[in-house]
Amino acid sequence: MRWSYLRRVGLLLLLALLPGCKGCNKGVSNAHEKPLPDGTVILLRGTNGYGAVILHNQRFSGGLPTPKETLEYKWSLILRNQRFNRVLQTPEETLEYEWFFRSDGQGTFATNDPKVLHGTVTKPAGTQWSKLITFQGFSVEWSGNTDGLGWVYYPHDFHTFNRSAAWSMCVTDRTNLEGINPGDWRWSYSTRPPFSLTQERNWLKGQLGSTPRGR
């Protein structure tokens, strides 16, 4: 019985590697493995150059049921028409970020360098593009986690192979961009999130018919 289960899992993993596998991404997210705190430096590499993003003021509120209680009564203290309703609020996610860009990849993102472009963007809640980090041809999906934390998403999930992408990403452990050369060998760029046992478990549950608990 044990070997039968292992063969089944092995077959599913093999199918995941095949292009065009229908439903093979069920329960899998292309989010980075952990939510990122404010101040995190993210490096991007695209066909037109290198970019960097620093996250600021990530906010997430709403989305939880808010009780509304009403009551009618007569002076005789006979209670009538007591009501208790729950109204689901729409989550509000806001973000500020700094972006930096240079097309040559031959130096740092020092803002006094004429080859470096720089800007600051505020994404208010409810706007059409409020969940996208966009600048100089880059477009990175973002979503809120809690105040001060947010998810960023790679172009593809872990099980997507043999597909090109317009950009790749490197999530660093830095909170200061000073001295970072995006073309340096130490920065590893990827179009897919790193391997995660949690993601694999969710994917297998989805393939075996369980309800996945992904992001």
Separation between Cα atoms, residue 11 and residue 4, nearest integer Å: 11
Separation between Cα atoms, residue 155 and residue 164, nearest integer Å: 9
| DSSP secondary structure letters along 149-207 | EEEEB-SS-TT--S---SEEEEE-S-S--TT--TTSTT---BSSPPP-HHHHHHHHHHH
Model confidence pLDDT, tens digit, residues 32-87? 889 999 999 999 999 999 999 999 999 987 654 445 555 554 554 455 555 555 55
Model confidence pLDDT, tens digit, residues 76-109? 445 555 555 555 556 688 899 999 999 988 899 9
